[in-house]
Every structure is written in structure tokens, then in C-alpha cells.
A and B are shown apart, each in its own frame.
Chain A
Amino acid sequence: MTSTELPLRLTAKDFKSDQEVRWCPGCGDYAILAAMQGFLPELGIACENTVFVSGIGCSSRFPYYLSTYGLHSIHGRAPAIATGLSVSRPDLSVWVVTGDGDALSIGGNHLIHALRRNVNLKILLFNNRIYGLTKGQYSPTSELGKVTKSTPAGSADWPFNPISLALGAEASFVARTIDSDRKHLTSVLRAAAEHRGSAFVEIYQNCNIFNDGAFDILKEPETRDAALIRLEHGQPLIFGDKCVVKDPRGFGLRVVPTDTVAASEIIQHDETVTEPAYAFALSRLPEADLSHTPIGVFRNVTRPVYDDMVRDQITAAQTAGPGDLAALLRTGDTWTLS
């Protein structure tokens, strides 16, 4: 968004709507909302030029609590609706809020196509690894064997890794963050907002009612340092007493004790690598218990933006002036009866 107007001086309060927030007490969604309300003012985009489009789920209630324009749509379809809005309205900053079921189950098709097209959308996937709104069924990100109301004997579904999926869909910006780390969350939202094209952000979100503690290993002071890999552009991938190196056995990366390798072997994070294989390898590092989970920006590359290309074709067609309707109607053979 470029603007010649004076920078807007807005505060978090300006982005709060008058609606009573109705998530369960303790839900991770509150923290994400607070971070968003705190962060939006710094974008300098007026309330009226920001639109949040969501699907259905606890997470998708998000737009009601912001004072921007908001559209709470239907299950899974937010990326499609937001694409129509974004392509036809270049002046708007369009955000999609979705859940793991909304984005990856019923709406999986729209998500991958928005990403491959590189529509100028900021897509925030609140991943609580459960269906919250429908009271606790397993989701496409629930771990294998998950026992829920619909899977009393444990789920037999292999879960999606949302970051791997987004990379496979050729997303140009892919990041992960955590509800409870406001500073990190804000920095990732900022990077997403600055990216032109689709920005995909997976936010680990605690559902304290149906899947409490799903991300505790990444949050508890005793475990997090050994479990979290913080991706920082240009910095070596070192965490706790471990680091990330090339896996000599294959094409991927692996985690080893830092004192077993030379400093030169440690991977330096580069989010701009064009070839998605590197970011994909990063996305495969987490173990089943979420140890070795990278957070931060996996990939941030420039690729032609769908909205621009579609609009450019229209602008190009109109360079010689607008269409002449009467002339259009008489295309081809005509005759006159007099």
C-alpha cells in the first residue's frame, strides 16, 4: 500500500469493535486478537481500507471483534471470496482468518489455489489441531491416533503439515508463529503484511477446551529452548545445544548436537531461497512430539501477483479508451432492413 497522505495515527483501541468477544475464557484466540489489534495501527492503513474475511469455526469469529470491514462467510470458502474482493479492489488490505478444519479440510482446494495464484491475501491459519466450534472432533492436523468424540479408537488419518502443504502449493510467503509469543507473532504478522502476494501464516493456537496443551512443549520454559528453532534470516540455525545441518543420508536437513559439527556446517537461514526444497526440508524437522519445530519465516520470495496480472490485462485492453457498446453489439455480419 503506497500513500502520499499523512501517516495515520491509530491505536489498538481504534481497531476494537463494539462486539462482546465470545471465545472460551483462556482460548488462544484472545492473544492473537490482542496482538492483531496492537499491530494493525502500525501498518498505517485506515480502518476502512482493511477487510477481514473468515470462514466458519471458533477462529473465524475473529472479524467481528475488529472495527475494520469484516465478512464472516461459510465453511472453507474464505480464500475464494477474499480472492474476488482482492482482485477487484486493489486499494484494500485483505486478510483471511481460518482454522485447521476450515482451511485444510473443507476449504483445502481454495487454499492451495489462492497460494499458487499468489493472490494478494494475508492468510492466517489458526491451528489448534482440533475442530473447536463443533466441539472437539479431530482435524486434518490432529496427530495420528488422536482420540476424540468421532475417533474413540484413535484417528487413522495421517495429518497434514500445513507449512509443507503451503510450500507444495508454491506459496511465496510461508511462516509459523505461536499465540502465546506476542512479540514473535507481531513480527511475523508484520513480515506477512509487508509481503506482496499470498502470505501464509500458521499460528499455533491453544484450544484449552478440546485440545489443551497441544503446544506446551513449545511454550513451557523447561522444554521450549530445546524444542523451538527460531528462524531468523541470515542467522545460523542453532537452538539450545543443537543445530541444523544437511542430512548426509538424503536430501533433507537434520538436527545434531552443535558440538559435533564444524560451525561452517551449520545452516544459515535464508528465507529468500527461490527453490522451495530448502524451506520444505525445514518444514520436515519437527518430530511427532513437536520437538525441533521451526517458527518464523520459512520462505519469502517475490513472484508475480495474480491480482496485478489480472488487472494489468484490463488496463492494457483499455489503453485505447473504454469499450464501445454499440460497436460490440454489431460485431460480425449485420444487415439493415429499411
Chain B
Amino acid sequence: MTKQLQQLDRVVIRFAGDSGDGMQLTGDRFTSETAQFGNDLSTLPNFPAEIRAPAGTLPGVSSFQVHFASFDILTPGDAPDVLVAMNPAALKANLGDLPPGAEIIVNTDEFSKRALQKVGYAVSPLEDASLAGYSVHPVPLTSLTVRALEGHTISKKDAERAKNMFALGLLSWLYHRPSESTLAFLERKFASRPELVAANIAAFKAGWAFGETTEDFTVQYEVKPAPMPKGDYRNITGNVALAYGLVAAGVRSELPVFLGAYPITPASDILHELSKHKKFGVTTVQAEDEIAAIGLALGASYGGAIGVTTTSGPGVALKGETISLAVALELPLVVVDVQRAGPSTGMPTKTEQADLNMALFGRHGEAPVAVIAPQSPADCFMAALEAVQIAITYRTPVLLLSDGYLANGSEPWLLPDVEALPDLRVSFATAPNTPDGRFLPYQRDPETLARPWAVPGTPGLEHRIGGIEKADGTGDISYDPDNHHHMVVTRQAKIDGIPVPDVAVDDPTGNARVLVLGWGSTYGPIGAACRALRKRGLDVASAHLRNLAPLPANLGDVLAAYDTVIVPEMNMGQLAHVLRARYLVDVVGYNKVRGLPFTSHELEAEVERVLNDQH
């Protein structure tokens, strides 16, 4: 039958099913096809906190959202245009997020009485009027898959399992996606079991053919490729980008990378990823606890490596004393905090930005460190390189604040030219540094205020350092009151003197009176909201902070230039607090902690509200 072809400029699809239904994989493959096609895209996986919640229950629902478009996009999308629901739980858990008119593809085979009861449906929503406002496509995905695989020598269970590939085939047809990468992927994934390669490919093709033939789908959609800079791309999540950034920092500094880590969601994948890259001289140690993890990293830094520890908020809390030690020792150290919803265990798989206070202030004594926050998944790569650069140049701990959204979200990444990455080489002290041939471990570089990095094994530079206050210069223990004051001031001045780029303001008309200022992963939704407002003819400026300590030198002037500054944060106003204290500017917070990224719509509405208040 001939199908209508409709052009769209953007689509948001959410694949949802039971943890065991392979929705992350399905989403991943659809994303890859979409990337190959040349759309811009952004993804947001949403995992259950439980590893294996009981099948068919609401806590067991796992989903993957992908937003793709013919223009450059900034977020994984506020609300799905299409929901693929593999069972009643997936339908129920996601229905509330759907705008009226959204398309729902449901696997009717799973809507048994028992399955419905499990999630509290007395009557099947497919049979009453509850889905009347949506465009529903009931598809018996499981049985169609099993039928398509008749004749394949695989178990019934394996045949049923392939239903996610049937769904992927159907969606790939529906959105005109190229299928080569998925077919190649299946060959690779099941290489050791050829019968599964054949079955999964057959299921995928059956799904595609079903779309072509069934009368239920009368329209096929096309989303044209987005104009993006030329070059080679891949799709990347924040955690992988961060790990690659650390590997790259090792290569560009010609120093070994040493990771001490203790497993914690959502940071563990950085440990997993780095553990694979021993070829690059990366050492990873899974320590006995968070405190040991940072201790190991600091010991390695003392010995001349790039010491790194990766964790989430609860881990940073445990590492505080050692971060202060590193401040006093003035040794390089990179502490990665992949923030999650707290306090305490909170919601480990959900995102939040509530560790900013801890990063800036969460230590005993005056213990300033540099703090940097990436703004998108791919940006984690450069943020990691920058963190290492600051750490080894200034011999200081650097806190890198990622979060659960950046960690697991993904976007296309224009592969950088490796040779053009910053040169991170620094030199160790090799000779005495006084005219009379002595070595003073705290004699500072007048430019950076950094002390020499004198690693054990260097003859003639033997010295003793520790957490006790040291006399500047000699590094000898000192309880001299004036020296302590001087050292506190100097350690702060060292951090304040780290050059960070000015914050750039996006104010296309130059007429805006309202500035929206964010930091970290809110970059996407803030950007999308401001674009939408500008499209409607409203004037609004936006700016984003990457360096939170030290802050950009022009920030005070930027804040002063606007009548109102709105600061959206996934916390209760931690940056806002800093800005008020530091610049005496009465910024307006927009604060929500729902464990989810902001939607661009809510920010658009909030900014509009403020704009209206202006008049």
C-alpha cells in the first residue's frame, strides 16, 4: 500500500518497557541510526533504581528518550511525541508525560488480566476511553515476533526476547532510519551465537515490513538531516566523554593517569571505562572505601601521576578531609562528583545539582579549590582536560561537577583533532631552587603561585611535607601567626589567579533586560527556552557558567548590566546564594529538585512570567 510521507522538523520518542525488555539497547540503536542519518539529537535514559525489580511492575519500568531534529537541539525533549509501551506498567508510568494527541504504540500481547492488575488497572486502558485523546496503535509485538521467527532454531523465550528488535524495525521504518548500523551491531553482539544474529535480524526486518504493510500506519515521517559542522562524529554519553577526557589528559601531559575509585551510581561507569584503557598507562584501583580511593589518588599525585578519584555526592562527603590535605600539600588532584539526588542515598539514579555548596565550601579550614562544571554530555571531555590542566599547573585539587543527566545522556560529538588538544606538559622540579643550593618545597612560581612538583626519587630534593601548616618557602612546620595568615591568603590567591575565560552573554538583539544564568547541565533547557522566547519576539539574554571557582572576572559586570537575573538550578539556590553574597545582586532563583532535568517549557514559562513582571 502507498503511504503518505510527512515532513517533521523534530520528534521525541520514548521507548519504555520492563527492565528485561531491552529498552536501553533499543533506544541506543535507534539513536545510532538517527546519528548516522545526520539529525542532531539528544538522549535521556531513565533506569529503575532496583537492579531487577519484579517483572511488570511500575518500579521495574526502564525507558529511553531520544529527541532528534533537522536543526541543532539542546535537550532530550520535554515530552514524548511518541511512546512505545511494551507493557501496561510502561504505559501507566509514562502516560502522564504525554501531550494530548501523542502517538502510542502498545504491545497488546502483554495486556493480560494479570499484568493489568499488577499495576492497578481494573479495566484495560485499551478498551475503555482512557486513551481517547491519543493516537493509539495496538500492535501484538510479541506474537508477531514469535510468528516471524517460526522456523528459527531458537527457544520460545529467545524468540519473545527479540520483540524489541521488531519494535525497533517498526520505528526505523516509521522514521526512515538507515538500518545498516543496527544489522552490523547485531552481527557483532551475537557473534558467538549465529542463530541469534539471524533471529534478531529477522525480527528487525519483520517489524520494518509490518510498518510497510499494515493499514494501521498510514503515514511515514521524515526528519531531514540537521546542518552541523563538517567532520567525523560519534554519539557519546557524559561518563564516557569524561573518561576519554582523562585518558586524553594523560596522553597530552605525558603523565600516567591513576584512578582511585569506589563504586557508586552514577559514577561507576567512569571507573569501568577507564579500567579498559591500560594501554594508555591508566591505572585503576577499586579501593576499599571512598577515603582510600582519594588517598590512593593523592599518593599517586605525590609520586608524579595525575591522581583522580571519581564518585558521587556521598563519596565527596567522605573525601573532604583528604581534599583539604591536598590543598595544604599543594599537590594536583582531580575529584569528579557525578551528582545525584540527595541527601543521603536520595534517588541514586536521578539527577540533581545540589553538591555545589559542598564543592565550593564543604571542607574544614579555608580550603579553596577550583571547581568546573561541564554543560553537556560531550562537553565532559573538554571539562576533564581542563580540570587536569588546572590541577597539574596549579598543584591544586580540582572538583569537576558532572551529574546524573550528563553522565547517562548522550549527544553527537564532533571528534576533536587529537593533535590540536591542549598541550598539558608540565615539568617536575629537578634541581635545588636557592642560590646556595638548597631546595625549598614551598618556593612559589611568581606567576602561578604554584609550588614545585618535586617527586620522590629526585636526588637532592628530599623534603618533608604534611598537613601541618608550613612556612612559605621552606615548607618547615610553622605555627607563626602571620605565616598562617599569609598561607591562607596565598592559597586563596592561587585559586583566584587561575585564568578562566570571561562568561559570554547571548543577547541577539542587545535589548534584553533579563538575563538567565545557569551552570552545568541546565545549559540545554535554558538555551532551548531562551530560543523559544526569542522566536516569539521576546528579548532575553542567557549566559552559562563553566568555571564556578574561580568565577569569570567579568561576571560582576554582566550581572550588573541587567535589571533581572534569573538563575535556574536543580537545587534550592546554591549558585544564587554565591552570586548574592559575592556581587550583591538580587538574583531570582528558579529551583526545582525532581530528579529530572528541567523542561524547556517550564523555563520558558518562568522567564516569561518574569518578563511580564518587568512591565
Verify if B559 is at the interface (C-beta below 8 Å from A): no
Verify if A188 is at the interface (C-beta below 8 Å from B): no
Docked-complex contact A109 and B289, CB < 8 angstroms: yes
Docked-complex contact A323 and B277, CB < 8 angstroms: yes
Stretch at the interface among B53-61, B162-170, B294-302: B294-302
CB distance from B429 to the nearest CB of A (A): 12
Docked-complex contact B278 and A318, CB < 8 angstroms: yes
Docked-complex contact A333 and B278, CB < 8 angstroms: no
Closest to B291 in A: A77
Closest to A68 in B: B462
Closest to A50 in B: B456
Docked-complex contact A92 and B295, CB < 8 angstroms: no
Stretch at the interface among B124-132, B144-152, B303-311: B303-311
State A338–B256 Cα separation when bound (angstroms).
36
State A92–B283 Cα separation when bound (angstroms).
17
Docked-complex contact A84 and B418, CB < 8 angstroms: no
Report if A84-B278 is in contact (Cβ < 8 Å); known contacts: A329-B244, A334-B234, A338-B230: no
Docked-complex contact A110 and B233, CB < 8 angstroms: no
Report if A337-B325 is in contact (Cβ < 8 Å); known contacts: A80-B291, A85-B300, A92-B456: no
State A332–B189 Cα separation when bound (angstroms).
12
Q: Could you give, for residues 407-449 of chain B, a 1 whenever the CB lies within 8 Å of some chain A CB and a 0 otherwise?
A: 0000000011010000000000000000000000000000000
Give the residues in chain B near A11, CB-CB below 8 Å: none
Closest to A335 in B: B36
Report if A329-B418 is in contact (Cβ < 8 Å); known contacts: A72-B467, A82-B299: yes
State A92–B232 Cα separation when bound (angstroms).
44
Docked-complex contact A92 and B303, CB < 8 angstroms: yes
Contact of B468 among A72, A91, A320, A332 (CB under 8 A): A72
Docked-complex contact B415 and A81, CB < 8 angstroms: no
Docked-complex contact B456 and A329, CB < 8 angstroms: no
* Total residues of chain B contacting the partner, CB 8 A: 70
Give the residues in chain B near A83, CB-CB below 8 Å: 285, 292, 295-296, 299
Docked-complex contact B251 and A80, CB < 8 angstroms: no
State A64–B475 Cα separation when bound (angstroms).
11
Give the residues in chain B near A310, CB-CB below 8 Å: 283, 285
Docked-complex contact A335 and B307, CB < 8 angstroms: no
CB distance from B365 to the nearest CB of A (A): 12
CB distance from B526 to the nearest CB of A (A): 26
CB distance from A56 to the nearest CB of B (A): 8
State A306–B511 Cα separation when bound (angstroms).
64
Contact of A64 among B291, B303, B460, B464 (CB under 8 A): B464
State A337–B226 Cα separation when bound (angstroms).
10
CB distance from A133 to the nearest CB of B (A): 12
Verify if B268 is at the interface (C-beta below 8 Å from A): no
Report if A317-B278 is in contact (Cβ < 8 Å); known contacts: A49-B456, A89-B304, A329-B234: yes
Docked-complex contact B231 and A113, CB < 8 angstroms: no
Q: Could you give, for residues 270-297 of chain B, a 1 whenever the CB lies within 8 Å of some chain A CB and a 0 otherwise?
A: 0000000111111101011101100111
Verify if B477 is at the interface (C-beta below 8 Å from A): yes
State A322–B234 Cα separation when bound (angstroms).
23
Docked-complex contact A325 and B287, CB < 8 angstroms: no
Verify if A70 is at the interface (C-beta below 8 Å from B): yes
Give the residues in chain A near B514, CB-CB below 8 Å: none
Contact of A84 among B296, B325, B463 (CB under 8 A): B296
Closest to B421 in A: A325
Closest to A80 in B: B295
Docked-complex contact B232 and A330, CB < 8 angstroms: yes
Give the residues in chain B near A109, CB-CB below 8 Å: 288-289, 292
CB distance from A2 to the nearest CB of B (A): 16
Closest to B295 in A: A80
Residue in A67, A91, A323 with the greatest tally of chain B CB atoms within 10 Å: A323
Report if A19-B464 is in contact (Cβ < 8 Å); known contacts: A84-B303, A92-B457: yes
Docked-complex contact A70 and B464, CB < 8 angstroms: yes
Q: Could you give, for residues 211-241 of chain B, a 1 whenever the CB lies within 8 Å of some chain A CB and a 0 otherwise?
A: 0000000000000010011111111000000
Residue in A66, A67, A88, A316 with the greatest tally of chain B CB atoms within 10 Å: A88
Contact of A81 among B282, B298, B305 (CB under 8 A): B298
Docked-complex contact B456 and A48, CB < 8 angstroms: yes
Report A46-79 residues with CB < 8 Å from chain B CB. 46-49, 51, 53, 56, 63-64, 66-74, 77
Docked-complex contact B292 and A333, CB < 8 angstroms: no
Report if A337-B235 is in contact (Cβ < 8 Å); known contacts: A82-B299, A84-B296: no
Docked-complex contact A318 and B279, CB < 8 angstroms: yes
CB distance from B114 to the nearest CB of A (A): 39
Docked-complex contact A337 and B464, CB < 8 angstroms: no
Verify if B321 is at the interface (C-beta below 8 Å from A): yes
- Residues in chain A within 8 A of chain B (CB atoms): 17, 19, 46-49, 51, 53, 56, 63-64, 66-74, 77, 80-89, 91-92, 109-110, 113, 310-311, 313-314, 316-318, 320, 322-323, 325-326, 328-338
Listed A/B pairs (19) with beta-carbon separation below 8 Å:
A46-B459, A48-B459, A56-B467, A69-B464, A70-B463, A70-B464, A71-B466, A77-B292, A80-B299, A81-B295, A81-B302, A84-B295, A85-B456, A88-B299, A92-B457, A113-B288, A316-B278, A323-B247, A338-B230
11 further A-B pairs in the complex, CB-CB below 8 A; given A84-B300, A322-B280, A328-B280:
A49-B457, A68-B462, A69-B456, A70-B464, A80-B291, A84-B301, A85-B300, A87-B258, A88-B256, A325-B247, A335-B232
A-B complex: 9 closest residue pairs judged by Cβ atoms: A84-B299, A72-B466, A80-B295, A84-B296, A317-B278, A70-B464, A323-B280, A323-B279, A81-B299
